[in-house]
Amino acid sequence: MAVNMKGKSLVSINDLTLEEINQIFDLSKTLKEKQLTGEPHKILEGKTLGMIFSKPSTRTRISFQTGIYQLGGLGMYFGPNDLQLGKSENIHDTAKVLSRYLNGIMIRTFSHQDVIDLAKYASIPVINGLTDLLHPCQVLTDLFTILEKKGKLRGLKMAYLGDGNNMAHSLLHGCSKVGMDLTLATPSNYKPDEEIVKNSMENAKKMGSKIEIITDPVEAVKDADIIYTDVWASMGQEAEAEERRKHFVRYQVNPGLVKHAKEDYIFMHCLPAHRGDEVVDEVIDSTNSVVFDEAENRLHVQKAIMALVM
């Protein structure tokens, strides 16, 4: 039986039930098929999505704006200078006002608390397009892509190499929710948030899967079905790039490292990739790489999220 998600905000994957996650995947598959065959699917005709961007983005803006258009609705872009979010107008008032004009809000920003507050005070659904803490739409897309490629999620092993950042956090939430084993290999001083790790380990225990946080990249990728990495310095950390490179260089995904994974492993990256840093051309351009299928699927999965909550 379908779960009613109308009006529900998506702040974190951890807020979703397994049934809701599977419903997102089922609808993503349906909408992708309709898009590829040219069948109209104006599920959100006449509805408007406000898109708040404190952080710029290629994939997030284009996929959400294209997605709401394909669903029959309108996407309105608000850049850093278009709204006074948390500046001359507090988030409480902004949320109340936007709720009178819009049917949904997508926000991509720095502070995770801003998204929590926006969702708390808005009477319309709020979708987290990215914060410094979490990136739920990306990881739901990643899991959907793995399901397409591998035919299942439960029982697979993912190895994540690099920074314990927002991607690592949402992968912890996502993999633990669907019963996928996840090994994160990070330098000891770049580990993920302890509370998120603890919570994800509890979820994994319920699902019969395993979460590991280690420092050895070779051990992490051993027998992995999926190898995942992300940039070593995220947006806003450019000044730390050189220092970070020293710590992360042994976590580079290259031919020498991936030979420890399963032969049919898939390589994933949320993009943009810094080729020559966290991954080399021989891997990201190999037949094992699914990064562009992954990027495309942002469109289909986010359309499913919008259709379900708006």
CATH assignment of the domain containing 149:
3.40.50.1370
Tell me: do 30 and 60 sit in the same domain. yes
Residue 96 near residue 122, CB atoms below 8 Å: yes
Whether residue 7 lies inside any domain: the answer is: no
Average pLDDT of every residue of the chain: 96
User: pLDDT tens digits, residue range 229-245?
Assistant: 999 987 667 778 888 99
User: pLDDT tens digits, residue range 167-200?
Assistant: 999 999 999 999 999 999 999 999 999 999 999 9
Tell me: do 141 and 131 sit in the same domain. no
Whether residue 5 lies inside any domain: the answer is: no
Whether residue 108 lies inside any domain: the answer is: yes
Tokens at residue 286, please?
């190999």
Tell me: do 179 and 109 sit in the same domain. no
User: pLDDT tens digits, residue range 9-66?
Assistant: 999 999 999 999 999 999 999 999 999 999 999 999 999 999 999 988 899 999 999 9
Q: From residue 61, give the alpha-carbon distance in Å to each of 19, 21, 65, 218.
A: 28, 22, 6, 36
- pLDDT band, residue 281 (cuts 50/70/90): very high
For the entire predicted model, the pTM comes to 0.96
Number of structural domains, the chain?
2
Tell me: do 90 and 36 sit in the same domain. yes
The parent domain of residue 42 ranges over 13-135+295-309
Catalytic residues: 108, 135, 138, 230, 270, 298
Mean pLDDT across 104-133: 97
**What is the predicted pLDDT for the residue at 86?**
67
Tell me: do 213 and 261 sit in the same domain. yes
